[in-house]
């Protein structure tokens, strides 16, 4: 999993001026993927959606998930959504998927502005 930091000027100033404790507290606010349905590398019946569970609440405007088929082509035309009741959950609605390999790519922006991203695959039987 790649971690990409986008420090805004305000955050840079805070990081340089702050105690080490505050810096590490900020670093821990990244949103990491905890689990998903379907799970990574799972072989499943065609799911109605992909559900992603993160360690931190997400910024809905900047967080997203997409699905690609085995040829790398987009396979889910619907937009992903951060759950309105629990911002640590993201949903990607799926069309009726045929059998095959699929890859989920997600980008999660935590409330501190830090971005994480990752990929995982699943198989539809």
- Chain residues that interact with Cu ion, rule: CB under 5 A: 29-30, 112, 114
Smaller CB separation from Cu ion, 49 or 112:
112
Burial class (CB in 10 A: 0-12, 13-18, 19+), 30: buried
Smaller CB separation from Cu ion, 54 or 122:
54
Give the Cα separation of 64 and 54 in Å (integer): 12
Residue 94: HSE in the Cβ half-sphere, 13 Å Cα cutoff: 23
Q: How far is the CB of 73 from Cu ion (least distance, A)?
A: 32
Q: How far is the CB of 55 from Cu ion (least distance, A)?
A: 10
Q: How far is the CB of 22 from Cu ion (least distance, A)?
A: 12
Q: Which residues are registered as beta bridge partners of 103?
A: 68, 121
Smaller CB separation from Cu ion, 64 or 114:
114
Smaller CB separation from Cu ion, 24 or 35:
24
Q: How far is the CB of 23 from Cu ion (least distance, A)?
A: 11
Give the Cα separation of 90 and 76 in Å (integer): 14
């Amino acid at each position: 999993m790649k971690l990409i930091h986008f420090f805004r000027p305000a955050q840079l100033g805070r990081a340089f001026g702050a105690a080490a404790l505050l810096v590490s507290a900020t670093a821990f606010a990244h949103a990491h993927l905890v689990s998903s349905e379907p799970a990574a590398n799972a072989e499943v019946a065609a799911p109605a959606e992909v559900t992603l569970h993160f360690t931190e609440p997400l910024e809905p405007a900047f967080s997203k998930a997409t699905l690609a088929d085995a040829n790398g082509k987009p396979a889910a035309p619907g937009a992903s959504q951060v759950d309105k009741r629990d911002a640590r959950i993201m949903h990607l609605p799926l069309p009726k998927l045929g059998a095959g390999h699929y890859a989920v790519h997600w980008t999660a922006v935590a409330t501190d502005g830090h971005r994480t991203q990752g990929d995982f695959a699943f198989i539809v039987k």
